[in-house]
Copies of this chain bind each other. A is one copy, B any other.
């Protein structure tokens, strides 16, 4: 029987770490997850993952060959294979995650942040198949971005390129998790949408079911539900969010002239509520030479799979390049 090549994709999240085996065509062969236990050391997590990988691979050994391990993690650096002061894990300083994995495996190991991994996943298996120039925006708690130019992920000089969430909307604006103010992710993210709701509830006098939800309990899903039921505050919150996101994406287009921008993550799941005002504002703010050229499209990967698929794509992308003439 011919052996099937597979890559391990690993997504280290603040709460859970998902991992799975992905074949060349992007199909999931096996997938599971363990709690990250972010209070423990990175060494402990990698050791527990190694146990899990071993259990996952055991029944497949006769038919599958492991070709590499691709990993996505917050604040990951592709060049150094490190995770640096991750926001949701109690790992201090610069943690050599790729090296920790290499202690167990004599295979290619690569590491990048989740938005970059998502961009590679879309390029190999999703909405950006065949594209050479595009941007993936992940709209979750924050706003992450992965930029592909001429078919290559843009890492920049130090491996940290693609921080569109930390571009400036308003120098006197909202406090950002990074310590500065007015960054895009404080407006255009699931959290940003909820902050806009708070602002609108203060500004306007309309009745709204959102007045009954404590800010800490509010989710982008609840705002979407209210908007779909016609709540004017919720509808305007999406309008404002899309307006700001579209305006700033026009800046990204001016830098990079992508063929498409792919929106992904919890807030993108709101569909037309976020896509329509964003697309309108993007067109309105584009330099004339870029108008009607840039497609704003949803991810073509399932929410659950993307992180693992993207992490695996990090290795598949290299393996497939080597096979080209």
Residue interface mask A266-307, B partner, CB < 8 A = 1: 000000000000000000010111100100000000000000
Residue pair A132, B157 in contact (C-beta under 8 Å)? yes
- The listed residue (B154, B179, B290) touching A150 by CB distance below 8 A is B154
Known: A150-B152, A152-B150, A255-B147. A293 touches B157 (CB 8 A): yes
Question: Copy number in this complex?
Answer: 2
Given contacts A149-B154, A287-B178, contact A167 B257 (CB under 8 A): no
What CA separation (Å) do A152 and B149 show in the bound complex?
A: 10
Say yes or no for A325: interface residue by CB 8 A criterion. no
- Interface with B: A16-24, A60-68, A207-215, A245-253, which one? A245-253
> In the complex, which residues of chain B have a beta carbon less than 8 angstroms from the beta carbon of A166?
254, 287
Q: Which of chain B's residues have a CB closer than 8 A to the CB of A154?
A: 149-150, 255-256
Q: Do B179 and A288 have beta carbons less than 8 Å apart?
A: yes
Residue A180, interface by CB 8 Å = yes
B133 touches A168 (CB 8 A): no
Q: For A240, what are the chain B residues with a Cβ–Cβ distance below 8 Å?
A: none
- What is the chain B residue whose CB lies nearest that of A132? B157
Binding site for B on A (CB under 8 A): 84, 131-133, 147, 149-150, 152, 154-164, 166-168, 171, 178-180, 247-248, 250-252, 254-259, 285, 287-290, 293
Q: Which 6 A-B pairs have the closest CB atoms?
A: A156-B257, A161-B257, A157-B259, A167-B251, A163-B254, A133-B157
Could you give 19 example pairs across A and B, Cβ below 8 Å? Answer: A84-B289, A147-B255, A147-B256, A149-B161, A150-B155, A157-B257, A157-B258, A158-B293, A159-B257, A160-B289, A161-B255, A162-B255, A163-B254, A163-B255, A163-B290, A167-B250, A167-B254, A178-B287, A180-B285
